[in-house]
Amino acid sequence: MVVEASVTGVFKTILMILGAFVLLRFLGQFLTAKRNMEEERSLNEKQRKFREEKERVFKSFGKTSIISDKKSKSNQKSKNSVEDVDFEEIN
């Protein structure tokens, strides 16, 4: 079987290769732009959370909260069932 190269066949092949190259470049740029947008969105979300936390801390800056002894002791006992025991050293 003898295969002959025609001018139109070579031209079509070159156009297909160029078309694939252009398509791949376009998809690459599109995916890069999409990734950059996602990074920017996550960065903005982190900045928003940081700003909200900073405002919350600033609002409560200098305020003192008093917890009743009964409440704190009951919370400590329920969290840890081990009691502290005082001891004396023996010489």
Phi, psi values for residue 6, rounded to 5°:
-105, 160
The reported pLDDT for the residue numbered 18 is 98
Domain tally, the chain: 1
Asked whether residue 88 is assigned to any structural domain, the reply reads no
Q: Domain range spanning residue 47? A: 27-59
- Whole-model pTM above 0.85? no
* Helix, strand or coil, per DSSP, at residue 62: coil
Residues 31-53 as b/e (b if ≥16 CB within 10 A, e otherwise) read eeeeeeeeeeeeeeeeeeeeeee
The reported pLDDT for the residue numbered 33 is 97
Enter the tokens of residue 86.
Answer: 């005082």
The reported pLDDT for the residue numbered 27 is 97
> In tens digits, what is the pLDDT along the chain, a chain of 91 residues?
667 778 899 999 999 999 999 999 999 999 999 999 999 999 999 999 999 999 988 888 887 777 766 555 555 555 556 666 777 777 7
Asked whether residue 21 is assigned to any structural domain, the reply reads no
Asked whether residue 35 is assigned to any structural domain, the reply reads yes
The angle subtended at Cα 30 by Cα 26 and Cα 36, nearest 5°, is: 145
The reported pLDDT for the residue numbered 69 is 61
